[in-house]
């Protein structure tokens, strides 16, 4: 669901979908520091490790040291990698595999 929030423009959404998107992005991922999903998703998109996401988004540095938000961040990173792996090979990547 979170990836839909990144891939669909506001113009394509109904009023209800826009409200749901705002609510979803406001969902708190890091309880200790009150960091919402809307701040974590750009870090997920730009990073490949939980540690990098933590540095970029500020997660993992609260009282629990990532015990609560770490699993959610790992799940989001896994979804990102699964989506990337499931995309069909482009002409460039297909020719690289032949070499």
26-44 pLDDT, tens per residue?
899 999 999 999 999 999 9
The size of the chain, in residues, is: 99
Q: Which of 29-38, 55-64, 76-85 has the lowest mean pLDDT?
A: 76-85
Whether pLDDT at 90 is above 80:
no
Instruction: With residue 36 as reference, give the H or E element that holds it.
Output: strand 35-36
- The pLDDT value recorded for residue 77 is 96
Q: Pick 47 or 83 by higher pLDDT.
A: 47
């Amino acid at each position: 669901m979170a990836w839909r929030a990144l891939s669909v423009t506001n113009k394509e959404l109904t009023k209800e979908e826009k409200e749901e998107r705002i609510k979803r992005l406001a969902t708190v991922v890091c309880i200790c520091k009150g960091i919402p999903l809307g701040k974590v998703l750009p870090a997920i998109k730009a990073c490949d490790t939980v540690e990098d996401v933590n540095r970029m988004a500020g997660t993992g540095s609260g009282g629990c040291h990532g015990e609560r938000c770490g699993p959610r961040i790992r799940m989001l990173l896994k979804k990102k990698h699964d989506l990337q792996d499931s995309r069909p090979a482009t002409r460039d990547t297909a020719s690289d595999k032949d070499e």
